[in-house]
Every structure is written in structure tokens, then in C-alpha cells.
Amino acid sequence: MHRTDPDPHGPVLAAVVLAGGAARRMGGADKPGLVVGGHTLLERVVAAVRTHRPDTHVVVVGPERPSPAAEYVREDPPGGGPVPALRAGLARVHAPYTALLAADLPHLGAADLAALERAAAPGPGAVYADTVGHPQWLTGLWHTDALRTALRSYEGASLRGLFGPMEPRRVRPADDRAVTDCDTPEELDRARNRW
């Protein structure tokens, strides 16, 4: 039987990490597998989650890898975009809170996730915003039930269309690097130079 209700004795937090994009701006490279400071980008994101809450159930939506240890799932069809990927990952979640994260955030830390968790408590969720206030939808933490409710009636393809009407709290990171991803070779080089 597929359990959908939160387990009162289970983890408080799950993390859905999107790791299946085409990485066109990176020349089609296996972006989650790129190494920064001795660890892959995906390993760094999962390490931040597990440092914040060691019992977090981590669901990686993307090709299975030997590391990090996580539950790996694929959207159908693979490469269908972030909304189908979120649906696939969320189907495996039983915790009351869900972090939705990109797999290419080399400077995201446990303290950043703790701040999101505090900010998400009173409303449907919280997301980090960049220096000009634009929400970074793949650095967010949500009430799982609110996510499921929004997805149930959503037929669009963009995360902005899904999350915008939910009016999550926007949070400024203590360090802007926390929300800096690696979409281009230049951004990857900058991340490597910081380690």
C-alpha cells in the first residue's frame, strides 16, 4: 500500500533535489556530477541537507548515481521539466516539510536551510530571493500538503506559475553565494575558485 500521510514518527523534512536537466548552457555536461572542492555538486547539496537534519529523506530526481546515497526517481518522460520532476519526487515524500532544491548549489549550507525552515513555518513555504528580489524557486522549503494541493490543480509547466500564487515568504540569504547556481562554465569556474 502506498502511504501518503506523514509518519508522525518519521523525519520532519524531505528534500526533493532536481538533478535531471539537459544543462544546455553547460554544453550538455553532467552538471550534478561536476566536481567543486573535491565533491560533486549533487553531493554538496545533499550534504547541506543532511547536515541540517541528518534524518532527512532525500529524493533525487535524475539518473541514479553511486553517490550520494538517496532515493532516485525519474519523471515520465525523463527530461520533462521541473514541474513533472517535482511531481515525481513529491510522490515519494511523507514528511510534513519538503525542501525543493537544484542540484547545482555548491555554496548552500545547513544554516541556509535552517533559515528557510524557520521562515516557512507560518505560511505555505519560503524561498530565497536574489539581490534584486527575484524568487529562486529551486531554493525553497514548503509545507508538503500545500505543495500537493497546488500541484493537484496546476496544469502549467513553470515553477513560477505554480509557486507564485502560493505567495511564499521571500528570504534574503545571509550570503548571496547560497543561491548562486552553476549554469555556465564561467559560474562553475567561480565556484571552484572559492573552494
Domains of the chain, CATH where assigned: 13-194 (3.90.550.10)
> Per residue in 131-145, pLDDT tens?
888 999 999 999 999
Structure confidence at residue 129 (pLDDT): 94
Structure confidence at residue 5 (pLDDT): 43
Q: Which of 162, 125, 159 is nearest to 140 (CA)?
A: 125
- Residue 94 vs residues 6, 100, 135, 160: alpha-carbon distances, Å: 5, 14, 26, 24
Structure confidence at residue 188 (pLDDT): 76
Q: In terms of DSSP bridges, do strands 125-129 and 169-171 run parallel, antiparallel, or are they unpaired? A: parallel
Residue 29 has pLDDT above 80, yes or no: no
Residue 22: pLDDT band with limits 50, 70, 90: low
Residue 192: pLDDT band with limits 50, 70, 90: confident
Rounded to whole angstroms, the maximal C-alpha distance in the chain is: 48
Asked if 20 and 79 touch (Cβ cutoff 8 Å), the reply is yes
pTM of the model: 0.90
> Per residue in 60-101, pLDDT tens?
999 999 999 999 999 988 888 999 999 999 999 999 999 999
Residue 4: pLDDT band with limits 50, 70, 90: very low
